[in-house]
């Protein structure tokens, strides 16, 4: 809410005109956002942890599980909080992938493709990150072959712009575009701004099947590692702390965290042959 921009005693501009200029409803200038209680934030955190481990759990099973651990939560409350966080059973991520019906959905191109080299395929996804009082969203651009994170951004709103900034960051780091970009069917990725940028660069567009989180499994594994190794261990107070913590962990992930699937090498060494370009 931008009510701080409104001067009710302005000598030249009426309140109606000022509200129109800053795109707010003049009848709601005194409306304040409802603060989330510490109890509700704790419940949201527990739901996020449980849902990450058991994405097939619906509101009833999550309520039963948390009730058995001593939390005061029924199915109605569980359903409300899951809806607020955007969580759905059998769909292991927040509601960051709602598609826009007027935008085109592209086919999945990786089902039989052998990915053998860096920058052949990049993938992207968005996840929910809890803070002490509130939450934010993280988008990453990952190289499919090496699992290296080439670009990332954090935002407190779910718009396409921060996805495009992460994409441009990845392009600058890599010095090139991928041959294929894979994503889910979220409205950010079906938007004309996103698909238009990829088409202009000559990138083929691939999208996961509906409710097929396994199609983007490498990013899903990244979310689990990030949350259990950093987010859940640190109660970040605000976006500045969150960005600092996530940035430090991604540096560790790229340059120090070895993967069995990469023959015990780090993602960055596989992607670049040892040339370090990513900075915090």
Phi, psi of 60 (to 5 degrees): -65, -50
Look at residue 127 and tell me if it is in a domain: yes
Predicted confidence at residue 2, as pLDDT, reads 41
> Average pLDDT of 245-272?
92
Look at residue 110 and tell me if it is in a domain: no
The residue that leads in pLDDT, 27 or 254, is: 254
My answer on whether 133 and 72 are in the same domain is no
Look at residue 100 and tell me if it is in a domain: no
Cβ pair 87, 75 in contact under 8 A: no
Look at residue 112 and tell me if it is in a domain: no
Number of domains, the chain? 3
Q: Indicate the pLDDT class of residue 280, thresholds 50, 70 and 90.
A: very low
Which CATH number is 233's domain given? Answer: 3.30.420.10
My answer on whether 5 and 60 are in the same domain is no
| Furthest-apart CA atoms within the chain: distance in Å | 70
My answer on whether 62 and 170 are in the same domain is no
**Residue whose structure tokens are 């779910």:** 158
Look at residue 149 and tell me if it is in a domain: yes
- Give the distance, in angstroms, between the CA of residue 124 and the centroid of all CA atoms in the same chain: 9
My answer on whether 222 and 178 are in the same domain is yes
My answer on whether 27 and 51 are in the same domain is no
Q: Indicate the pLDDT class of residue 210, thresholds 50, 70 and 90.
A: low
Assess whether pLDDT exceeds 70 at residue 24: no
Look at residue 247 and tell me if it is in a domain: yes
Q: Residue 16 CB: number of other CB atoms within 10 A?
A: 9
Q: Indicate the pLDDT class of residue 214, thresholds 50, 70 and 90.
A: low
My answer on whether 200 and 253 are in the same domain is yes
My answer on whether 157 and 267 are in the same domain is yes
Helix 75-85 vs helix 38-53: angle between axes, to the nearest 10 degrees?
Answer: 80
pLDDT in tens, 132-149: 878 888 999 999 999 999
pLDDT in tens, 66-105: 999 899 899 999 988 887 776 666 544 444 544 555 567 8
My answer on whether 147 and 205 are in the same domain is yes
Look at residue 111 and tell me if it is in a domain: no
My answer on whether 132 and 258 are in the same domain is yes
Look at residue 96 and tell me if it is in a domain: no
My answer on whether 125 and 226 are in the same domain is yes
Q: Counting Cβ atoms within 10 Å, is residue 170 exposed (0-12), middle (13-18) or buried (19+)?
A: buried
| Three-state helix/strand/coil letters over 246-267 | HHHHHHHHHHCCCEHHHCCECH
Q: In angstroms, how far is the first alpha carbon of the chain from the final one?
A: 31
My answer on whether 19 and 45 are in the same domain is no
24-28, 58-62, 177-181: least confidently modelled range: 24-28
> Average pLDDT of 151-161?
92
Predicted confidence at residue 23, as pLDDT, reads 59
User: What is the residue range of 60's domain?
Assistant: 38-85
My answer on whether 144 and 64 are in the same domain is no
Cβ pair 128, 135 in contact under 8 A: yes
The token pair that represents 138 in the structure block: 């993280």
The token pair that represents 255 in the structure block: 């340059």
The token pair that represents 195 in the structure block: 């698909």
């Amino acid at each position: 809410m931008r009510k701080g921009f409104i001067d009710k005693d302005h000598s030249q501009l009426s309140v109606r005109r000022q509200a129109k200029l800053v795109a707010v409803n003049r009848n709601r200038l005194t409306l304040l956002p409802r603060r989330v209680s510490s109890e509700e934030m704790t419940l949201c955190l527990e739901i996020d942890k449980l849902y990450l481990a058991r994405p097939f759990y619906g509101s009833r099973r999550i309520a039963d599980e948390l009730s058995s651990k001593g939390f005061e939560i029924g199915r109605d409350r569980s359903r409300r909080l899951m809806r607020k966080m955007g969580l759905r059973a059998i769909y292991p991520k927040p509601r960051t992938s709602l598609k826009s019906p007027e935008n085109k959905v592209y086919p999945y191109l990786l089902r039989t493709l052998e990915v053998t080299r860096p920058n052949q395929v990049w993938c992207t996804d968005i996840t929910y990150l809890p803070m002490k009082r509130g939450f934010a969203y993280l988008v990453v651009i990952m190289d499919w072959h090496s699992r290296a994170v080439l670009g990332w951004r954090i935002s407190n709103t779910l718009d396409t712009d921060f996805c495009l900034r992460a994409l441009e960051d990845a392009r600058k780091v890599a010095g090139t575009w991928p041959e294929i970009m894979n994503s889910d069917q979220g409205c950010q990725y079906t938007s004309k701004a996103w698909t238009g940028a990829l088409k202009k660069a000559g990138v083929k567009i691939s999208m996961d099947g509906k409710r097929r989180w396994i199609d983007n499994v490498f990013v899903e594994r990244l979310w689990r590692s990030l949350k259990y190794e950093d987010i859940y261990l640190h109660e970040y107070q605000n976006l500045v702390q969150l960005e600092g913590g996530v940035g430090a962990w991604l540096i560790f992930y790229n340059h120090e965290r070895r993967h069995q699937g990469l023959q015990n090498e780090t993602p960055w060494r596989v992607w670049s042959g040892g040339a370090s370009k990513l900075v915090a």
